């Protein structure tokens, strides 16, 4: 099975799964490689603490990498919550710690969690979606601290109508600008299969965005389940692989020491 490049463990504020349970599940599924990407959302206003204990994380993961050597190739990543005011902090973070892979995700807008209903209160859903996309654009344009942009249309999982009135065409201008910026900067995107489990019926980003990214020349693409529990690891990978082939991709990407490795789909 394709390696899962987006999953969480009890190092993340919203998971209680031991990392060993995720690794064992990946071996069971026949993955040859796996990249752990626990949450680090720094300086946000949220009831859940999404701050990663990076010291402990970066001491634990290399030991597990060694322990499971020969059975699975564990790569050490992080899902970094992008916010432009944290540029100096991110500079420090990435000089202090070496990751194989960084997912840069937009979860917070003006420090507010877009997964909570308060983000949508008192305004049109479209305004909230546009603000989310604008923030994503600011992040991918002004920061360099990521390899792929995480789940680009994540916000549509949480709007009052979810993806009912959402389409790529409805937001094409800003979405194209996001994709062009990512490509120009030599970065990539991910195909996040949690969309299937969140009731959207497709990955995040949606199929037309994946297609458009490829059309615009995008090549760097990782695949991740965003699993917080072992039963979700690698979920919907087979159908996503078929979708990606239909979207025009022939390769997916793995990362080692932040360098992309292209593998046939
Ligand atoms: Zn995320
Ligand atoms: Zn995640």
- Cα 233 to middle of ligand 2, angstroms: 12
- Cα 7 to middle of ligand 2, angstroms: 6
169: confidence class by pLDDT, cuts 50, 70, 90: very high
- pTM here is 0.98
Ligand nearest to the CA of 81: 1
Residue with token string 């990751």: 99
Which domains are present in the chain? 19-264 (3.20.20.140)
248: confidence class by pLDDT, cuts 50, 70, 90: very high
126: confidence class by pLDDT, cuts 50, 70, 90: very high
Mean of per-residue pLDDT scores for the chain: 97
The predicted pLDDT at position 91 comes to: 98
- Cα 114 to middle of ligand 1, angstroms: 11
The predicted pLDDT at position 250 comes to: 98
Residue 92, SS3 per DSSP: helix
Would you say 221 and 253 are in contact if contact means Cβ atoms under 8 Å apart?
yes
Percentage of residues of the chain with pLDDT beyond 90: 99
d(CA 217, CA 219) in angstroms, rounded, equals 6
Tell me the per-residue pLDDT of 98-109, one tens digit each, with 9 for 90 and over: 999 999 999 999
Tell me the per-residue pLDDT of 32-45, one tens digit each, with 9 for 90 and over: 999 999 999 999 99
- Cα 203 to middle of ligand 2, angstroms: 13
Tell me the per-residue pLDDT of 226-237, one tens digit each, with 9 for 90 and over: 999 999 999 999
Tell me the per-residue pLDDT of 136-155, one tens digit each, with 9 for 90 and over: 999 999 999 999 999 999 99
Tell me the per-residue pLDDT of 48-71, one tens digit each, with 9 for 90 and over: 999 999 999 999 999 999 999 999
The predicted pLDDT at position 101 comes to: 99
d(CA 41, CA 80) in angstroms, rounded, equals 6
- Cα 130 to middle of ligand 1, angstroms: 18
Average pLDDT over residues 199-208: 95
Ligand nearest to the CA of 150: 1
191: confidence class by pLDDT, cuts 50, 70, 90: very high
Q: CA 172, 174, 175, 180: dihedral to nearest 10 degrees?
A: 120
192: confidence class by pLDDT, cuts 50, 70, 90: very high
The predicted pLDDT at position 249 comes to: 98
């Amino acid at each position: 099975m394709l390696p899962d490049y987006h999953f969480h463990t009890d190092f993340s504020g919203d998971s209680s799964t031991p990392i060993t349970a995720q690794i064992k599940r990946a071996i069971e599924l026949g993955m040859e490689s796996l990249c752990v990407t626990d949450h680090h959302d720094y300086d946000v206003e949220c009831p859940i603490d999404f701050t990663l204990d990076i010291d402990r994380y970066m001491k634990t993961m290399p030991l597990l990498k060694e322990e499971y050597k020969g059975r699975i190739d564990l790569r050490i990543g992080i899902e970094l919550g992008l916010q432009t005011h944290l540029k100096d902090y991110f500079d420090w973070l990435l000089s202090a710690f070496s990751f194989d892979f960084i997912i840069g995700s937009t979860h917070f807008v003006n420090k507010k969690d877009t997964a909570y209903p308060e983000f949508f209160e008192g305004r049109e859903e479209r305004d909230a979606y546009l603000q989310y996309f604008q923030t994503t654009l600011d992040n991918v344009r002004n920061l360099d601290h990521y390899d792929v942009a995480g789940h680009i249309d994540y916000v549509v999982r949480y709007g009052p109508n979810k993806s009912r009135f959402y389409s790529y065409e409805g937001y094409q201008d800003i979405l194209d600008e996001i994709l062009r910026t990512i490509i120009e900067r030599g970065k990539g995107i991910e195909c996040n299969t949690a969309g299937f489990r969140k009731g959207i019926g497709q990955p995040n980003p949606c199929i037309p965005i994946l297609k458009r990214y490829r059309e615009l020349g995008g090549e760097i693409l990782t695949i991740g389940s965003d699993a917080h529990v072992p039963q979700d690891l690698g979920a919907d990978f087979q159908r996503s692989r078929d979708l990606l082939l239909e979207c025009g991709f022939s390769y997916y990407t793995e990362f080692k020491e932040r360098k992309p490795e292209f593998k046939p789909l």
